[in-house]
Amino acid sequence: MTLHHYLILAAVLFCVGLMGAFTRRNAIVVLFSVEIMLNAANLNFIAFWRYSENPELLHGPMFTLFAIAVAAAEVAVGLALVIAVYRHFKTVDLESMDTLREE
Amino acid sequence: MNEVIAFWILSAVAVLGALVAVRKRNLIHGVFALLVFFAGLSGLFLLLLAEFIAAVQVLVYIGAVGVLLLFAIMLTERVAGDDGRRMTSRGWFWGVVAAAAVLAMLIQQLPPPEAAQEMQEINPSVEELGKKLMNPYVVTLEVLALLLTAALIGAVTAAQSVRMPKEEDSPE
């Protein structure tokens, strides 16, 4: 396996996530599309680390660990926002949430 | 040889899981496909000898994020998605085109194939990671702790039901 295999795989996964975020209407599906994109980026970090000149510095795993922690926080806040918006609009359909103020 | 087979199987699992998660109409099925994707990615991390990251992936994503997503889906409406409504957004075609364009651009920007083909032989232990976390990255760790606390409080306040009295107009 070369670095290229991993990079191409990560690019494909990233674009699957991007496609989901662009094409779905449900806010929760968009949220987990973003998760797919974040995970593809993590795969890139680890792959670059394994094929780097001096992997004993552990830059890749450290960055990935921090990225995972931030992603976990993001999911928690994102889902809380989705639930708050659902309580207000009675839907999680992104196309019907097109106003910022109360009607 | 075994490594090559494992790579192809795991990447197929990851890509298929991601595709099904993104395209499935039933959201619960979608979340389970997403968990398959996370598991495949965790296997790929193992293949890259990042065993601690693989364990964290299983714990955080399959454990915590999966359950959180399931709860959020069950708290909102239309779980099964069998009501015949459109599930794609307006202009979904251009979304697919944009994603394909990004993919083409990313593939084009790959580093030259002769760069870094050899996997370095080291074995990072969890102990080494812990030491790194304490010595150069301690400020990052503390900031992250602060961020997680803020996210926890923010999530609770955002999801709390705000009961505002509709009758009396409070001057804001």
User: Does the pLDDT at position B11 exceed 90?
Assistant: yes
Q: How many CB atoms lie within 10 A of CB B162?
A: 9
Q: Which domain holds residue A75?
A: 3-89
* Spatial distance between the Cα atoms of B159 and A84, rounded to a whole number of angstroms: 5
Cβ atoms A33, B33 nearer than 8 A: no
What would the mean pLDDT of B8-12 be, rounded to a whole number?
95
Any A CB within 8 A of B164 CB: no
Give the total number of structural domains in chain A. 1
- Of B53, B89, B124, nearest to A94 by CB-CB distance is B89
Query: What is the mean pLDDT of the segment spanning B96-116?
Result: 85
pTM of the model: 0.88
Residue B147 has pLDDT above 90, yes or no: yes
* A95 lies in some domain: no
With 60 as the cut, is the pLDDT of residue A93 above it? Answer: yes
Contact A2 B113 (CB under 8 A): yes
- What is the predicted pLDDT for the residue at A96? 79
Domain ranges in chain B are 1-79, 125-153
The enclosing H or E element of B144 equals helix B138-159
At B88, give phi and psi (nearest 5°).
-95, 160
Is residue A9 domain-resident? yes
Residue A83 lies in a domain: yes
Would you give the distance in Å from CA A18 to the centre of its chain? Answer: 9
Which among B46, B89, B108 is the top mutation candidate for probing chain A, defined by the most A β-carbons within 10 Å of its own β-carbon? B89
Architecture of domain B1-79: Up-down Bundle (1.20)
Residue A42 lies in a domain: yes
pLDDT above 70 for B116:
no
Residue A48 counted as domain residue: yes
Do A8 and B107 count as a contact with CB atoms less than 8 A apart?
yes
Collapsed DSSP state (helix, strand, coil) of residue A24: strand
Please report the pLDDT score of residue B172 as a whole number.
47
Q: Tell whether A100 is covered by a domain.
A: no
ipTM of the complex: 0.91
* Cα B103 to the center of its chain, rounded Å: 19
